[in-house]
Amino acid sequence: MSAVLIRGVLLYGEGDQVDVLVADGQIAEIGPTVKAPKGADVIEAAGQVLLPGLVDLHTHLREPGREYAEDIATGSAAAALGGFTAVFAMANTDPVGDSPVVTDHVWRRGQQVGLVDVHPVGAVTVGLEGAQLTEMGLMAAGTAQVKMFSDDGVCVADPLVMRRALEYAAGLGVLIAQHAEEPRLTVGAVAHEGPNAARLGLAGWPRAAEESIVARDAILARDAGARVHICHASTAGTVEILRWAKQQGISITAEVTPHHLMLDDSRLATYDGRNRVNPPLRESSDAQALRAALAEGVIDCVATDHAPHAAHEKCCEFSAARPGMLGLQTALSVVVAMMVESGLLDWRGVARVMSENPARIAGLDDHGRPLEVGEPANLTVIDPASTWTVAGAMLASRSANTPYEAMTLPATVTATMLRGRITARDGRVIGI
Active site residues per annotation: 305
197 forms part of the interface with another protein (CB under 8 A)? yes
204 forms part of the interface with another protein (CB under 8 A)? yes
Query: Is the Cβ of residue 34 or residue 185 nearer to another protein in the bound state?
Result: 185
Cα dihedral value 328, 332, 338, 343, nearest 10? 160
Query: Is the Cβ of residue 66 or residue 276 nearer to another protein in the bound state?
Result: 276
Q: Report the alpha-carbon distance of residue 199 to residue 33 in Å, rounded.
A: 61
The CB density around residue 430, as the number of other CB atoms within 10 Å, is 17
Q: Which one of the spans 106-114, 187-195, 333-341, 399-407 is the region binding another protein (CB under 8 A)?
A: 187-195
For residues 347 and 354, is the Cβ–Cβ distance under 8 A? Answer: no
Among 193, 211, 217, 305, binds another protein (CB under 8 A): 193
317 forms part of the interface with another protein (CB under 8 A)? yes
Interaction with another protein in 234-273: which residues (CB under 8 A)? Answer: 270-271
Please tell me whether residue 233 adopts helix, strand or coil conformation. coil
By the 10 Å C-beta count (0-12 exposed, 13-18 middle, 19+ buried), 116 is classed as buried
Q: Tell me how many residues contact another protein (CB under 8 A).
A: 20
Query: Is the Cβ of residue 19 or residue 313 nearer to another protein in the bound state?
Result: 313
Longest alpha-carbon distance in the chain: 66
Q: Which one of the spans 66-74, 155-163, 292-300, 317-325 is the region binding another protein (CB under 8 A)?
A: 317-325
295 forms part of the interface with another protein (CB under 8 A)? no
Query: Is the Cβ of residue 144 or residue 277 nearer to another protein in the bound state?
Result: 277
Among 316, 373, 394, 432, binds another protein (CB under 8 A): 316
Interaction with another protein in 320-339: which residues (CB under 8 A)? Answer: 320
- Closest contact distance (angstroms) between CB of 423 and another protein is 38
What's the length of the chain?
Answer: 432
Helices (H), 59-206: 72-81, 100-113, 136-141, 159-172, 195-200
Helices (H), 304-403: 331-335, 347-351, 357-362
Q: Is 392 left (phi over 0), alpha (psi -120 to 50) or beta?
A: alpha
Q: Report the alpha-carbon distance of residue 310 to residue 314 in Å, rounded.
A: 7
Query: Is the Cβ of residue 10 or residue 190 nearer to another protein in the bound state?
Result: 190
Among 28, 124, 170, 202, binds another protein (CB under 8 A): 202
Q: Report the alpha-carbon distance of residue 335 to residue 80 in Å, rounded.
A: 17
Among 47, 141, 159, 199, binds another protein (CB under 8 A): 199
- Closest contact distance (angstroms) between CB of 392 and another protein is 17
> What residues make contact with another protein under the rule CB under 8 A?
193-195, 197-204, 270-271, 312, 315-320
